Structure 1
Amino acid sequence: MNAEFFAFSILSVFAIGGAVFFLNSVRVMHMAISLAFTFFSLAGIYFLLQAEFLAVVQVLIYAGGISILMIFGIMLTKPEEGSPGRSFQYHQWISLATIISFFVIIMVIIYQSPIFTPAEKVSSPSVQQIGSILFKQYAIPFELASILLLVALIGAIVLARKEQK
């Protein structure tokens, strides 16, 4: 058991915990915060996998952009007055037991399979190569995606303003 395995275990528990908090939260603001927490945990896992570009993109686009967009959407909409509390019902116990048994089965399969052999070194493209491909070959789709996100943000603001009047 080395430090990398320990860091992966901690980050994966945080990612799964954030996702579970997201699914069980009642307030939308708590959902947005737990989703951002999950995104940061996934970025940490990408760093452990030596995919630094994906980790930075994860933080910039998902944890930064989408989480902030959700928070702005929450701030522009009218919050619900007093949401009812939920109790832990029997079907949630059945779901919990199913998830735990699925986790145990997956862990047994992983530890019994011979996948823990040393892999050969794979060359990955550098950030400069990815950037030049992105801005030379895929410049138009990149700009169309940014315009689409801007139109969605403006549409959300317009719809929120109409409801206030």
Structure 2
Amino acid sequence: MRLLMDGTVDRVVVLFGSNADPDPQLTWARGVTLFGDDGTGAELHHAGPVGVVGWSVAGLDALAFVAGHHGLVDRLVLVATPIPDDEGALGFELSEVTAKTLLLFAAKDPLTGSRHGTWWQKRLPDARLEMSPQGGHELLSPTWKRTLSHLAPHCKR
């Protein structure tokens, strides 16, 4: 894990799929500590609540992280995450992902439109789907405010 923003509240957010904070001003205002997954498989050592966001294909890594950290991760956001080629090859059951989940997809995304969002919503136990009528696959930055409001409710610096 790589530290992207040091926060002031007891809330950690782990970002999969980007090496940079999508909007440092918004992240700073929330007061959360933001880590980026650096692909090393390093463990997260945090006793408080953790939110996880996965963008695009890295959403599958985010799901694996959530499934492997029962009791630690309470909220998840998947942004434009494609359906896996083989659900059985994920290495975990989607029913193991019990975090409150927000699915953010764009209707005009040629890679992952509404069909992908609906697929995830049907398979994740506590998932809510929000479709953006505009935009394409590059949804992470435009939806960062909504992402943080889900992952870190009531948190402010």
Both structures adopt the same fold (TM-score exceeding 0.5): no
* Structure with bigger RCO (C-alpha 8 Å, 6+ apart): 2
TM-score, with normalisation over the residues of structure 1?
0.19
Give the helix-richer structure, 1 or 2. 1
TM-score, with normalisation over the residues of structure 2?
0.20
Give the strand-richer structure, 1 or 2. 2
